[in-house]
Amino acid sequence: MKNENVIEVKELSKIFGDFTAVNKISFNVRQGEIFGFLGANGAGKTTAMKMLIGISTPSHGEASVAGFDVYSQAELIKNNIGYMSQKFALYNDLTVKENISFFGGIYGLSRKEIKSKTKQLIDELNLGEVANQLVGSLPLGWKQKISFSVALLHNPKVIFLDEPTGGVDPITRRQFWEMIYKTANEGTTIFVTTHYMDEAEYCDRVSIMVDGKIEALDTPKNLKEQFGVEDMNNVFLKLARG
Ligand code: ATP
């Protein structure tokens, strides 16, 4: 079912008083797709994402995520997606293992499932040596990789990544993206915001928001052709500068 839409958005808007932060955006994201959600600071990305993950009610328009409606099924959306940002990460004062158990419990996994997932995750991420260390003592790149895996513990159909690699070194970012590819190949949809234009190149399709509107949406290759430039950085600069 690779052609199934996991996210459907139609004319979605969010208005704060007399300010329109998100202005009638429309797009669909397919199963297993890596969808990059770009825009300058203040363009409206976070506001749009909050509506999609069920924590902010839209002012107008329609949207569904993982088959659930953002107005009437926000709780179901929260239970059926993964979410990771730099701001909401793991608990620094719990060990790696304790974090996995804690979040596994929150996601409703059984003890048996938590045990097998913990082993799997520790093996896959090569965390054997640090499994009993406090997360607070680990480098940021490690925390982000663990945090990504934890957000996938309950096998969500879609994972939302809000600037997941902010402040992380280039090698770790590359490794992080390898994890993203693997996850997408296994059929999970990836919705990712980033300010790194090299990361935009890794996405299947990229949307670029300017002042609340989606001004461009296509594959990186087509966007570069459309704007007659060599890289995504220049696509972004052309759009953001008008
Ligand atoms: P960044 O890359 O800096 O995170 P962003 O694209 O995520 O930016 P948003 O955080 O969505 O941008 O903000 C879009 C606009 O909406 C900004 O001008 C912001 O000040 C405004 N805004 C966001 N939340 C509110 C709110 N609760 N009330 C009023 N205005 C808001």
CB atoms within 10 A of CB 75: 10
> What letter does residue 162 receive in the DSSP assignment?
E
55 close to ligand 1 (CB < 6 Angstrom): no
Among all chains, which residue has been given the structure tokens 């008008």?
242
Q: In angstroms, what CA-CA distances link 139 with 31, 123, 132, 238?
A: 32, 18, 15, 36
Tell me what pLDDT residue 88 has.
63
Tell me what pLDDT residue 2 has.
58
Reported pTM: 0.93
Query: What is the spatial distance between Cα 86 and Cα 102, in angstroms, rounded to a whole number?
Result: 18
What are 142's two structure tokens?
């490690």
Question: Distance between alpha carbon 221 and the CA centroid of its chain, in Å?
Answer: 21
Cross-strand pairs, 174: none
Among all chains, which residue has been given the structure tokens 């959306």?
77
Catalogue all structural domains in the chain, each as residue range(s) with its CATH number.
1-80+156-214 (3.40.50.300)
Cross-strand pairs, 5: 30
The residue whose CA has the least distance to atom 22 of ligand 1 is 21
H-assigned helices in the chain: 45-52, 74-80, 96-106, 111-124, 140-150, 170-185, 197-201, 220-227, 232-240
Tell me what pLDDT residue 5 has.
95
The residue whose CA has the least distance to atom 26 of ligand 1 is 16
Tell me what pLDDT residue 168 has.
86
41 close to ligand 1 (CB < 6 Angstrom): yes
49 close to ligand 1 (CB < 6 Angstrom): no
The residue whose CA has the least distance to atom 3 of ligand 1 is 41
| Candidate of 13, 14, 46 to mutate for ligand 1, largest count of ligand atoms within 8 Å of Cβ | 46
44 close to ligand 1 (CB < 6 Angstrom): yes
pLDDT tens over the chain, length 242 residues: 556 999 999 999 999 999 999 999 999 999 999 999 999 889 999 999 999 999 999 999 999 999 999 999 999 998 899 999 877 678 999 999 999 999 999 888 999 999 999 999 899 888 888 899 999 999 888 888 899 999 999 999 999 999 998 888 888 899 999 999 999 999 999 999 998 888 999 999 999 999 999 999 999 999 999 999 999 999 999 997 76
- In one-letter notation, the amino acid at residue 67 is G
53 close to ligand 1 (CB < 6 Angstrom): no
CB within 8 Å of 176: residues ≥ 6 apart: 141, 144, 145, 148, 164, 165, 168
What are 111's two structure tokens?
């003890």
